[in-house]
A and B are shown apart, each in its own frame.
Chain A
């Protein structure tokens, strides 16, 4: 029997100017024991469907048309009390961020027991027993001790297990999981997805898995529904949709996914929706002042670099506590090379980048840039020469541009600071950069909030190029972007290396992206460099257990169509 049926569902958010149609005529069904993936880029309306089913739409959003039925019974349009009897009891929900999903002032036991008692009407003792069983089931070690702990005493992955246990309290028939693993590291992500798969099989629970991640869809789901701007564009079994997409949007989306097993020259330009962007990095090369190559052929050399952070201050020095974020890391980057550093969160990869960028002081070790010992430079003045030659592209396009500065001021700031150009030449350089990254010089007179995430990241790139640097640090430059936008940005970065001869340090947690971008890769774990190798060599023949483990956790994406990539495969 079909558990959940969504027919012609439309959700509207009336705003000041117009009615925003978040979901338009969407259909979806969930069978027992089935994991149904709901995939799309930001703004596709996938989370809105989850909230609509639960009756948890934020006002002024409302269901404007269509029905949601549970086991054949219509549930949309019920009053608050009617929805409440379904919520938790028949349909449960798992949220994205385990850090904020649990009440910080109650023990996990209190939260579990309250929910169990409410739904199953058990005694205190039985509820507690059942809570311990649930914690055990979701894979929390020593559940009889851990049950009396508070949420902040659990790690992120463990908290998400607790959240799942809470969602299971009432033995629901359907679970809606809204990006359940997005906030987690790749190794934890795999465990949580396995747990969801097991539970669905074991209890014959239907699961709607909302995600933006094609890897998660390919590895976890049985069926998939693809959404674009509020509309369902394609639906079917996962194998069929991923392997032989019919709709143009699905095709373009799949073509933009970086593959762990294939290296492409450039990502195919997406043609569906939105205007195709044109950028001409090659034209920039004409006016580009190319510096002499470094004498040794090695532009940047990092030698036994270390960084410790104070975690607990104390008047007595011996009582202070430190955390070693980076521990004697060494590597070097050759002229014109893209060097990648991969690692999970907390591995210290961003700290390394920030030390090279002079944002953090070092606690030992040496950074040498074109034969100059940068760690020996201390005054602002001495560092100017180095700072002019390096630039950085940051992770979050929404915070990397000052919202109160105009775009042309943002791009001109490094030029003015280093006094590279004067008067009209500054404006000229700004206009040229904006043209070349495909935004047009008119963009200079606007403020950052008038641009989308991908456009902002291009503004960031224009700012980074303004001083004509030799070395570019990219710190997770695409991890906050949708996959199609990611493809654009990665193409631009590839052009920068090819046409301008820029040397790059590319920091990422995403192995498939690293494979597309980097010539050589270093793997970091808990502040240490585990392995450094040529990219292809590392993927084909990893030398350490940790690298092997990371590679094994990568989504394989073998079922994904390679149509549209054929011309680009290296």
Chain B
């Protein structure tokens, strides 16, 4: 992209941005601000988990089986230790496992969306701008894949990958397989939106002006069209992030995602489900609430973004 366009032109640019309709909209939407706050809090919590978490749930030395099944805020019968959100069967602090679990969930979510975005934008731009057979092949492939729900595609990829990876590598590979599986199942959204926007933009006169100068296809796509198709991409990316987090949780819950050695929120819920009927409700409740808060606030942000970036609604 342009090196100059992204640089602030005048010192007042920041002030200008703050005063823009977009920021005004944000400052006057309590829902947007609260969701942004929640997302920021959770993301920071995940990033700084090693500093914040009172215990390291992956360090066997810090675990005490005697601490198992401790209820939230109540001292353990044997050791007298108090845990904010209680402990699980192995005496791991639920608060700490949630922080570490969020790391996995968010990492997979962000990485999968980034992967899907790069793939989708590239293919969408090419399909929309180049047209012809290239477009037909890309969009047919997208159609076929769209016929199959993302979660199923992800499962199939996961299953196949499991079939070809040696058993000893399966746990370490699982996270990367998850990212690729979810990313591959989600690129179609981006490709379709970018292609649609590209088709609109490429007929606009500024693109013809660039073509007339003699600019090559690559420069036109990257410098002229790409910056103008990014706002719908931003909306899709936000909604995709929520979907990816949910997809990861679902796969992990079904036992085809993050392994118990690297538990994500979904894995934690899967583990906690076993204790639901025996009364240790906190083992499942707190990871579930975290997951819901994360997905909901990302979705709310996406919903708000869509309205805020829609030029027709802005007037």
Contacts and interface: CB of A to CB of B under 8 A. Distances in A.
Direct contact of A and B (CB under 8 A): yes
Interface of A: 16, 354, 357-359, 380, 383-384, 387, 390-392, 394-396, 399-406, 409, 413-414, 417-418, 445, 460, 463
B228 A404 contact: yes
B2 interface: yes
Contact of B228 (A383, A384, A402): A402
A305 to B, nearest CB: 18
A142 to B, nearest CB: 36
Contacts of B215: 413, 417
Interface in B166-224: 204-206, 208-216, 224
Contact of B212 (A359, A396, A402, A404): A359
Of A395, A400, A404, the most chain B CB neighbours within 10 A belong to A404
A417 B205 contact: no
B121 to A, nearest CB: 15
Given A403-B228, A405-B5, A445-B10, A396 B205 contact: yes
A405 B213 CA distance: 16
A392 B211 CA distance: 11
Contacts of A402: 206, 210, 224, 227-228
B274 interface: no
Contacts of B24: 16
Contacts of A445: 9-10
11 contacts: A358-B211, A359-B208, A380-B214, A383-B214, A391-B212, A392-B209, A400-B206, A404-B5, A413-B210, A417-B214, A418-B213
Interface of B: 2, 4-5, 9-10, 21, 24, 204-206, 208-216, 224, 227-228
Nearest to B21: A16
Closest 4 pairs (CB-CB, A-B): A400-B205, A404-B227, A394-B205, A399-B204
Contacts of A463: 209
Given A406-B5, A409-B2, A395 B205 contact: yes
Contacts of B228: 402-404
A403 B212 CA distance: 18
Contacts of A16: 21, 24
A393 to B, nearest CB: 9
Nearest to A409: B4
Given A16-B21, A406-B9, A409-B5, A401 B212 contact: no
B213 A401 contact: no
A357 B208 CA distance: 9
A15 to B, nearest CB: 9
Contacts of A359: 208, 211-212
A396 B206 CA distance: 10
A387 B214 contact: yes
A413 B215 CA distance: 9
A557 B204 CA distance: 35
Given A384-B214, A392-B209, A399-B206, 10 more contacts: A359-B208, A394-B208, A400-B205, A401-B206, A404-B228, A413-B215, A414-B213, A418-B213, A418-B214, A460-B209
Contacts of B9: 406, 445
A391 to B, nearest CB: 7
A413 B21 CA distance: 29
Contacts of B209: 392, 394, 400, 460, 463
Nearest to B10: A445
A358 B210 CA distance: 12
A297 to B, nearest CB: 26
Contacts of B206: 399-403
Of B21, B211, B212, the most chain A CB neighbours within 10 A belong to B212
Nearest to B226: A404
Nearest to B216: A380
B8 to A, nearest CB: 11
B56 to A, nearest CB: 47
A309 to B, nearest CB: 13
